[in-house]
Structure 1
């Protein structure tokens, strides 16, 4: 939000209701996860994710990995993650995914193989790639929920198999951002280590190497979370 500026002008209402001191139990590096984790907290609340169910996370970038960690911490019976990048698939395993699927395979079939022949109760799409979104819809069980957590390009149009969604009573929902309530919950999760994030920091760079950091993130091959320190 500050664009790396030294000073940022913020409306008084935002300061009064949307600024929180960083708890001593959370390091500066861990603190960079508060906002993205708050978004994940909101998403899983919107999806009404309940313990004891199977969750599929499509896409294992930072958001996807946080969804894996939070779902596990919230009592999911099984969490299955997908990605097409080996580095991220390895990160998903490390984050606690019970099974990891290559997104270039037949994902709905692989989900059933990993879930005793059954589709998933919840599917969370953390990529806006149309193929991945359709994979997610094909992975959800009757009466299940699909949470669209990532955007596509504004011009993208995706054909939804409406009759299948209607017949199988699938709930489709989405979430964007996090409220102050979600920020506070994310801080509690981090402070108590119910969701540990230190392992997601793959690079720590000085501010003068910001260009390198952005390049690592854009390439999305050998990094997860890049932290810049002034």
Structure 2
């Protein structure tokens, strides 16, 4: 089988691999759609682990099941996640599944940028879900990123009718936008430095879309009855955006950090000012099984339109073109790889 071996963002090599054989409790999935995630492009994180096969936003068909597998059969359409919690540690038992040490381990062999992926037993038990017939493979591959969104928004404690500013209108930001509109948030303001993404934010229902070079605080007040935002969601690792979140949140508001930044970045802010104002700061990483189930349900009901977020498609052999585009996304959102 073929798989794309990552060395750097500009050096992916499609190579021949032996097709994995599923062992006890494992399933082999024929990958039909695999999305490029922004985290795939973080060279500071990926390059030290290279060479490796990336890809974790996947959907496909069960090609083969190992001994002891129940509930899945060859030909079943499924989505799968590479990260699952143990469901036994103190974090899992207190609904903090994404702090479980096990969730940082990948259950894919190799990664999803390949023709086949063998899925480990814990992932088969807790991270593989049947794909409804009404949901395409490409749509199903959004289950993992949308699951991360549902968990993050829940962590922020968003309430119906709250005003929200989203910093960064890439795939993560626009998934957040659609989901919080579904929950009844509003008004919702989107920001980005990219005009294409600002237009997309308006298409997906943003109340207003502002350039990151604008005086965003003034524009939010102007369009929010004189108030700053109840919730600020930071969907970019850009340091300027991270710092600006504190200028955009209202007293007793919430800041949700939903993207990593450079590993050397340290945040400096006036502590007492935000202590007095009661601002709550939260962060969110990854998704638990229930978040993935909710995400798949939202996609199936059409509550979040993920198909319109796909702007480009490439074969596995052309994955380098996809990574090059994703690293310089002038007019792109989700880039889909079809092995």
TM-score (norm 1): 0.96
1:105 and 1:208 mapped to 2: Cα distance? 41
Moved more, 101-110 or 148-157: 101-110
Find the aligned partners of 2:119 and 2:270 in 1 and give their Cα distance. Answer: 44
Mapped to 2, the partners of 1:114 and 1:206 lie a distance apart of: 44
> Could you list the runs of 5+ residues in structure 2 that have no partner in the other structure?
1-55, 57-110
Q: Deviations over 1:128-163 (max 9, x none)?
A: 112111211111111110000001111111212211
Rg: which structure is higher? 2
Give the secondary-structure state (helix, strand or coil) at the position aligned to 1:221.
coil
Residue deviations 1:13-35, cap 9 Å, x none?
A: 22111111211121111112111
Structure-2 residue corresponding to 1:174: 283
In 2, the alpha carbon distance for the partners of 1:92 and 1:124 equals 14
Which residue of structure 1 aligns with residue 213 of structure 2? 104
Give the whole-Å Cα distance in 1 for the aligned partners of 2:212 and 2:246. Answer: 14
SS of 2:188's partner is strand
Residues 52-67 of structure 1: pairs in structure 2 closer than 5 A: 52-67=161-176
- Which residue is 1:214 aligned to? 323
Structure 1 stretches of at least 4 aligned residues deviating more than 4 Å after TM superposition: none
Is the aligned partner of 1:25 residue 2:145?
no
Distance of 1:29 and 1:5 partners within structure 2: 15
Q: Which one of the candidate residues 246, 259, 271 is aligned to 1:137?
A: 246
Asked whether 1:205 is paired with 2:290, we answer no
TM-score after normalising by structure 2: 0.66
Gaps of 5+ in 1: none
CA distances 1:102-148 after superposition (whole Å, capped 9, x unpaired): 10122212211121211011100011112111211111111110000
Count of residues in Structure 1 that have an aligned counterpart in Structure 2: 230
User: Hey, which of these two has a bigger chunk of helix by percent?
Assistant: 1
